[in-house]
């Protein structure tokens, strides 16, 4: 092991630190991204609604997981945008493409949400 490497954590300590880091990521995204705050507000409404409106456990799982998918993809998109901005704020074709692709992933996750909610509630 070199002097720059830390020993790997294991067990409960690793799980606690993973949770702490995850919470920092959630808070950071919430503070820095208006889109994430809006999606969290939507999730606060749709998560209980999905659990209530689903008739079967599978329907409930689909409704709830489609909402969570949007949050997950937005967090990944925020991570991509943060890394791109860390590398440099000047315009570059590849930086723009990375951000656009992340944004498209968020849009598609909303499409999944609309399709699932539409099929289950209107179909």
- 87 Cβ contact list (under 8 Å, min separation 6): 95
* Active-site annotation holder among 5, 39, 59, 74: 74
User: Distance between CA 45 and CA 57 in Å, rounded?
Assistant: 19
Q: Based on the residue annotation, tell me whether 74 is a catalytic residue of this protein.
A: yes
CA 39 remoteness from chain centre: 9
Q: Which residue's structure tokens are 């606690």?
A: 16
Give the residue numbers annotated as catalytic, written as ranges. 74
């Amino acid at each position: 092991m070199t002097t720059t490497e830390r020993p790997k954590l294991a067990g409960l300590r690793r799980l606690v630190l993973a949770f702490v880091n995850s919470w920092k990521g959630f808070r950071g995204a919430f503070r820095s991204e208006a889109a994430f705050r809006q999606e969290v507000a939507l999730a606060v409404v749709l998560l209980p609604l999905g659990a209530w409106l689903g008739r079967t456990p599978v329907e409930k799982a689909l409704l709830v997981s489609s909402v969570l998918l949007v949050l997950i993809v937005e967090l990944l998109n925020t991570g991509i945008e943060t890394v791109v901005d860390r590398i440099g704020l000047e315009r570059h074709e590849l930086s723009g493409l990375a951000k656009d692709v992340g944004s498209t992933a968020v849009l598609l996750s909303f499409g999944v949400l609309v399709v699932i909610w539409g099929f289950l509630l209107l179909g």
